[in-house]
Amino acid sequence: MKKEKNKSRNRLKKSDIIQQIITFFNEADTRGYNYKQVSFAVGARTENQKHLVYEILESLKDDNYLLEIAPGKYKLNRRKTSRIIGTFERRSNGKNHVIVEESGESIFIAERNALRAMNGDKVKVLIYAKRKNRDLEGEVIEIIEKAPQIFIGTLEIQKHVAFLLTDNKILGNDIFIPKEKLKGGKSGDKAIVQIIDWPDRARNPYGEVVEILGSAGENDTEMHAILAEFGLPYRYPQAVEKAADKISDAIPAEEIRKREDFRDITTFTIDPKDAKDFDDALSVRRLPGGLWEVGVHIADVTHYVKPGSIIDKEAARRATSIYLVDRVIPMLPERLCNQICSLRPHEEKLCYSAIFELNDNAEVQASRIGRTVIKSNRRFTYEEAQEVIETQQGDYKDEILILNDLAKKLRAKRFAAGAINFDRHEVKFEIDEKGKPVNVYFKVSKEANKLIEEFMLLANRTVAETIGKVSKKSTPKTFVYRVHDLPDPEKMNNLATFIRRFGYNLKTEGNKNEVSRSINSLLDKVQGKREENLIETVAIRSMAKASYSTVNIGHYGLAFDFYTHFTSPIRRYPDMMVHRLLARYAEGGRSVNEKSLENECKHSSDMELTAASAERASIKYKQVEFLSERLGEEYDGVISGVTEWGLYVEINENKCEGMVPIRDLENDYYEFDEKNYCLIGRRTRKIYRLGDPIRIQVARANLEKKQLDFALVE
């Protein structure tokens, strides 16, 4: 036994010794210690190790991390330590961080210094003295507020013990579950588990089953698991559905008399073929003076959903509908979103509308916003409307063709004003009756899609201008804006550097119109090229994210000074907020409380990002599932990411992404060149660079981790 201990001491690495010395001084009292005392404390026994300890102490002194209080005696420079409050972010690899509340700065927390803090916990941290050229490091000294700890995973039940094998990368330990806390769960079941305790001496946290989702691998189980992982609902509360069932779909005559009547004007909807919630319709007619009247009619959800009601509270909490690969998790109960509010053909419906008078050049001569009643003549799918545009034949061809002509002119003006043309292909799956992906295809935006898009943009912009655009002497009333900030200059410079290796240039300085025109030029040039998807992805990541706010900074990507979301109240809560504000201000109401509205905006922005993450996770799951049936097959791809642990490769024909682990590059020892996004072979000098074409074979597919491993085909 003693021999084994001596062997392990002889194997001490320099990095381990440094970390142990840092821990020793942070836990030590204020007196000084010489290198022999420190060597004994950290287990350095050999002469070489003791000499290394001395060198490290001198180095830490040079970093001003330690003070030499007498010749050869060192103590911690506590003048350089401080205490902060922040939020703990746990990682399964032990590389945890605390995000400081005030500054947003990140502090590294090693697992041994984490005090068993969990993801989201509010903690007090002692920040260690800063070492030269090193990240800030600290230790948790108090857990101020515990966050609920919910994990998703697969149950493994043995004779005497049960565990949850977690799916995510937050917790490195399985969760021990006492048998009486299993709620009937069986081995192989996917479950939601809450951590209830983590005793000091226990290796694993203790948990209890909150809910059994079903058998792992079944489609519904896995989709529900993805939603639960992001804290999103996968069913509607019965009390809310019952409240919706009590809402009458009859429209009283007195309500119709209050509204502008569009029931006899040609009106139709254009939506995806699988849509059930039609929240916008267009009407069009020629006015006596030769102008075109175009009505953008939006479902009047707030007529039925009253502020503070049980339905409204649930919608506000959800903030958005969620679109997974094979299903929609609606913001509103089905009776409202698919029936009462949905602008179904040949049914009288209540709307909030933006009405425009345009000349033949698509110049708006007049506009008004108000409540209306409509009766849609026809429900078009995008494919049906596109066929009318291409053949110039079919139902309501005159109306569709004039709307398309006006939309193209509006679009041209928008791009001339500096809008950016991000028009990416969406990955879609054909799913069989069991939820299995049988084919991958790309949703391409055609003229029919762009027709709807332009009139929705026009309505959203006009509504925002109605409230926000006031004389210099007036203060605009508090409102919900959809804002998009200017790109970060550093990210734009990085993008410009990245695309140069493909032979493209990008203007990163000048006014915002010049920069946006340069971005559009780049996006045009990459169309149809093998690097198209990669460059578009990197370009999008260089942009700021759009969000909701009461502070209007304009929308850079659309080149609008004023913009909001008004056109989708069935699936977005901010649109409901906008409808209510419009009605309030139209009746002469006072400006609402800005701080309260800003909090609602932030919640909606956060939920939008969470929903998008869940959507991406469902796509990733289906990609892994799709390729799990194609192990051993070869594909052409492009290197979409380079890291120290391997190459990410995106397959050209289906956009599925997997990784070639660096351990599988066996012909050489490869080093990661972070600056140039590449791996370089030490002996062969072979280079694998971001954007390079590459051929791969599907090697492994791990559905639980949503992970694909590829092997290179030389």
Q: Please choose, from the candidates 487, 477, 459, the residue with its C-alpha nearest in 3D space to the C-alpha of residue 564.
A: 459
Measured CA to CA, the distance from residue 431 to residue 413 in angstroms comes to 39
Which helix or strand (DSSP H or E) is residue 510 part of? none
Provide CB contacts within 8 A for 120, sequence distance 6+. Answer: 87, 88, 147, 148, 149
Measured CA to CA, the distance from residue 468 to residue 460 in angstroms comes to 12
Residue 129's pLDDT band, with cuts at 50, 70 and 90, is low
Give the pLDDT of residue 81. 60
Give the pLDDT of residue 1. 41
Provide CB contacts within 8 A for 634, sequence distance 6+. Answer: 695, 696, 697, 713
Measured CA to CA, the distance from residue 205 to residue 198 in angstroms comes to 4
Higher pLDDT, 212 or 512: 212
Work out the percent of the chain whose per-residue pLDDT is above 70: 96
Beta pairing, strands 364-375 & 260-261: parallel
Q: What is the pLDDT of residues 241-299, one digit of tens each?
A: 999 999 999 999 999 999 999 999 999 999 999 888 999 999 999 999 999 999 999 99
Model confidence at 7: pLDDT above 60: no
In total, the chain counts a number of residues equal to 714
Sheet holding 670-673, edge to edge: 670-673, 678-681, 687-689
Measured CA to CA, the distance from residue 141 to residue 144 in angstroms comes to 10
Give the pLDDT of residue 47. 85
Model confidence at 48: pLDDT above 90: no
Q: Can you tell me the mean pLDDT for 173-191? A: 91
Q: Count CA atoms closer than 13 A to 696's CA, side-chain side.
A: 31
Higher pLDDT, 53 or 314: 314
Q: Can you tell me the mean pLDDT for 183-189? A: 92
Q: Name the amino acid, one letter, at 1.
A: M
Which alpha helices (DSSP H) does 417-552 contain, by range? 447-468, 489-500, 512-525, 532-542
Measured CA to CA, the distance from residue 226 to residue 445 in angstroms comes to 28
> To the nearest whole number, what is the mean pLDDT of the chain?
89
Beta pairing, strands 426-431 & 437-443: antiparallel
Contact 547, 445 (CB under 8 A): no
Q: What is the pLDDT of residues 321-361, one digit of tens each?
A: 999 998 999 999 999 999 999 999 999 999 999 999 999 99
pTM metric for this prediction: 0.82
Which helix or strand (DSSP H or E) is residue 195 part of? strand 189-197
Q: What is the pLDDT of residues 100-114, one digit of tens each?
A: 877 678 888 888 888
Work out the percent of the chain whose per-residue pLDDT is above 90: 53
Q: What is the pLDDT of residues 497-519, one digit of tens each?
A: 888 878 888 888 777 778 888 88
Rg (CA), the chain: 30
